[in-house]
Structure 1
Amino acid sequence: MIVEGPKNNTSRVVMHVDFDYFFAQCEEIRRPELRSKPVVVCVFSGRTEDSGVVSTANYVARKYGVKSGIPIRVAKSKLSNSEAVFLALDSSYYSQVSESAMSIIASHADRFEHVGIDECYLDVSERAGSFDAAKSLAQDIKNEVKRQTQLTSSIGVAPNKMLAKIASDLHKPDGLTMIDPTSAAEFIAGMHVDRIMGIGPKTSERLKELGVKTIGDLTKFDLFRLIEEFGKKTATYMHNASKGVDDEPVIESGGKRQIMRITTLKTDATSSAEMLQDLYEICLSVFQTAVDRKLSFKTVGILLILDNLDNITRSKSMKVHSNSFESLHSAARSILEESMKETGPVKVRRLGVRLSELQSSEGQNTMLDFVSR
C-alpha cells in the first residue's frame, strides 16, 4: 500500500489575518472609555437578564477567567468586583466594521478568501515577491487597517494556510508572526496536536491515548497505524500537516461583493458641507480599490454613524455599471446631502462609503482615465 502526500510548496506566501477580540474591540472603538474595563459581549436568551452565553470578551475580562461560551451568570460572578460592562451583540455594527477592514485587506491580495466576520486568508505570492518581503507587506496591512478602522489584528505569514493560521494565533493581540518555510516542521514540532486545523477534542483525545501529544509525536507516528484508526483521508492529512505540509489553495470568495471605507471625523459634523472633504477622500480610496481589483460598480451607498451611535444608511443604484470616479463622487455627494436634509439636526461622528453590485472591469481604462482633469 502506497500513500503519497503532497509536496510542500515553499514558494507560496500565505497570510491569515485575525481581528483581535473582534466584537469587544468594536465596542471599544465606538466607546473608547471602555478600553480599561472588562468588556463582555453577550448573546442574551431573553428569559432573564443573566440568561445566555458570552460571545467575546476583551483581554481585561479574560484576566478574570471570562471566555467565549461560558454562561453570562458565570461571567458576572467572575467579574463581580470589577467595573465590567456587559453588552448585547450588535451584528449590524460589527458587519460594517468588518466590511471596511476586509476591503482594505483584499486590496493587498493576489487572492483573497473571506472566512468569517473576523478572519481571512490572503495569497500574496506574486506581489510580495519573496517570503522576506511579506513581513513588510503584512505590517503595512496592519497599519492601514488600524489607521482607517482603529482595529488591531494579528497576522500569520507562512507557506500555506494551515501554518499561517497557527502563526496568527501565537502572539495575540496585535501580533505578526512568520513561519519560515525552511524550518516550518521544526517550528511546530513542540506544539500540541490540536493546533492543527481539523483536530478537535475527540481526535486529540484518541491521539493522546495512542501516545501522540505534540505535532512532533504525530510526525513520528506510524502512518499505517493512523490509517487504521482514522481512515486514509484523515490520516494522510494529519501526517502531512504534522510536517508543515498543506496544499489547500486560497480560494477567492467574498472579495467582489462590496468595497467599503469608514472614517472617524475630526469633529462631529452637523451639515453635509462639513464632510465634503472627507467624503472626497473616502470616495477616492474606495475607487482606487475598485481600480486595483479591476471592478466596476452599480450601487453607491453612504453610512452615517451619529454621536448617539445610531446608524443611517442610504444608497443609489445606477442604470448600468460604472468605473467613473465622477459618477461615484457625484452619487455619494448627492446621497449625503439628501440624507442630512431628511434626518434633520444630527451630529455625525463617522462617515462611510460603500460600493456594491460589483463586476469585473478587466480590460477597461486606468484610473487616470476616469478622474476629471
Structure 2
Amino acid sequence: MSEVRARKIIHVDMDAFYASVEQRDDPALRGRPVVVAWRGARSVVCAASYEARAYGVRSAMPAVRAERLCPQAVFVAPDFTRYRNVSRQVREIMLAHTDRVEPLSLDEAYLDVTDNKQQLASATEVAQRIRAEIRERLALTASAGVAPNKFLAKIASDWKKPDGLFVVRPREVLDFLAPLPVARLPGVGKVMDERLAALGVRSVAELRALPAAQLEARFGRYGRRLAELARGIDDQPVQPDRPTQSVSAEDTFAEDLPLAALDTHVARLADKAWTAARKTERVARTVVLKLKTREFRILTRSLTPPQPPASAQDLLACALLLRERIAEDPTVAPDTLYRLVGVGLANFHEADDPKLQPDLFGAQAS
C-alpha cells in the first residue's frame, strides 16, 4: 500500500483534441461549433469543440443527431494523419519529463513522474510545466490530473476541464472518492451500475461500506477489485509503449433480442469501435463479433480479410458477414435470444508492417 501511495502519476488529456487542432489551423473555425465527423447516416462524431458541446453534441454520437442538435455546426472531415503528427509532438513534450509514458490514445496518456528528468520539486509542478509547454509550443490546451495512482489521476483530469489541473494528494484520496457515483470507477458500466444499485449502492462511500468478501462472493474477482478501488487502491503501473492489441465496443440490451434484430446495434458498435481504433497509429487486421446468449453462452467469430478494414463501413460489412455465419451455424438454434453484442478489431500491426500487404494473405476466418 505504501508503495502505491508513493507513486506520482499524471493523466494528461488534450481538450477536444481533434476539434481544437482544426480550430487552431483554420482561424475561420475559432469560436464556432465544430464537429469532426464524416456526414452520413452511419457516421459518428469523432470530436466536438466546446462550442458544439454547449448544444449537447458529444463524441461517439451519431452525426445525424449532432446535426439536429446543432444545425449551425461546421462539419469537418477527420484528418488523422495531422492528428497523429500533433500527438507525436505532445508525446515529445511528455518524454522530456519522464520515459514512463503510457499512451491511451492520440489525445491522452499516463505519466509516472515519481522521478522526473527535470528534477522538478513535485508532480504538480511537472503537470503545470507540461501544460504550459503544450500551450506555448503547440497553441493547444490540455487538462491534467495528479494522483497517487492511475485511476485517480484519470478521474482528476476531468475535474476542471477544459484547460484545468486538479490534484488528489494521498491524504485526500478517501474523502475525494466518497461522494462520487460508483459509475466513475473503472469497469463500472451500465449493467454493473444497475447491479450495484440493486444492493443500494450509488456512491463510492456506500460501496466502501460493503465487506470485500461480500463483493467478491457476488461479483467474483472483480468484486475484490471494486473493494480496492473504493479505497483508492490501484497497483497497476504505468506501462510505456504498450502497443494496441485490440479495440472493441459492446452493449448489453435492456431485453433479449433475436439475431435478426441486431443489425442496427452492430452498425452503431462498428462505428464506435472504428472511432476508437482511429486513435491509435496501428492498423488492425482482424474483425471480431461477440454475442452472448440469454443463457450466458458466449459466441465469438473472427475474420481476417485480404486487406485491413479501411473504414467503419468495411468493419460493418465484415461484422455482418460474421453475423450471417452464426445464423448458418447448425450448433446455434435459430430462435436463440441474445443479451449482448460486441464488435471489435484485433491483430494490430504497425502501419508500415509488410504483413499488411494484401498479396500475402487470403481471407482467414474462425
Give me the TM-score of the superposition, normalised by structure 2: 0.63
Matches of residues 1-373 of structure 1 in structure 2 within 5 Å? Answer: 9-44=4-39, 49-80=40-71, 82=72, 84-127=73-116, 133-231=122-220, 233-253=221-241
Show structure 1 runs of 5+ residues with no match: 1-5, 256-373
SS at match of 1:54: coil
Superimposed CA distance per residue, residues 147-197 of structure 1 (whole angstroms, 9 cap, x where no aligned partner): 111121011000111110010011100110000101201111101111111
Following superposition, which runs of at least 4 residues in structure 1 exceed 3 angstroms of deviation?
128-132
Counterpart of 1:270?
none
Give the AA of the match of 1:237: R
* Aligned mates of 1:72, 1:162 — CA distance in 2: 30
Pairwise CA distance, 1:23: 0.9
Superimposed CA distance per residue, residues 224-246 of structure 1 (whole angstroms, 9 cap, x where no aligned partner): 22112210x21111111111111
Larger Rg: 1
Give the AA of the match of 1:210: L
SS at match of 2:144: strand
Superimposed CA distance per residue, residues 102-125 of structure 1 (whole angstroms, 9 cap, x where no aligned partner): 111121115111111111111111
Counterpart of 1:303?
none
Pairwise CA distance, 1:68: 1.6
* Aligned mates of 1:219, 1:206 — CA distance in 2: 16
Pairwise CA distance, 1:222: 2.4
Show structure 2 runs of 5+ residues with no match: 244-366
CA RMSD of aligned residues (A): 2.2
* Aligned mates of 1:65, 1:179 — CA distance in 2: 29
* Aligned mates of 1:9, 1:130 — CA distance in 2: 21
- CA change 1:128–1:217 in 2 (3 A) is farther
Superimposed CA distance per residue, residues 39-60 of structure 1 (whole angstroms, 9 cap, x where no aligned partner): 001144xxxx454111211111
Give the AA of the match of 2:13: D
- CA change 1:202–1:61 in 2 (3 A) is same
Contact in 1 for aligned 2:97/2:118 (Cα 8 Å)? no
- CA change 1:128–1:234 in 2 (3 A) is farther
Contact in 1 for aligned 2:37/2:45 (Cα 8 Å)? yes
* Aligned mates of 2:223, 2:119 — CA distance in 1: 32
Give the AA of the match of 1:236: R
* Aligned mates of 1:241, 1:106 — CA distance in 2: 29
Give me the TM-score of the superposition, normalised by structure 1: 0.62
Contact in 1 for aligned 2:34/2:75 (Cα 8 Å)? yes
* Aligned mates of 1:90, 1:76 — CA distance in 2: 20
Contact in 2 for aligned 1:8/1:246 (Cα 8 Å)? no
- CA change 1:140–1:180 in 2 (3 A) is same
Contact in 1 for aligned 2:99/2:240 (Cα 8 Å)? no
Counterpart of 2:273?
none
* Aligned mates of 2:113, 2:82 — CA distance in 1: 29
Give the AA of the match of 1:203: M
SS at match of 1:143: helix
Contact in 2 for aligned 1:110/1:125 (Cα 8 Å)? no
* Identity in percent: 39
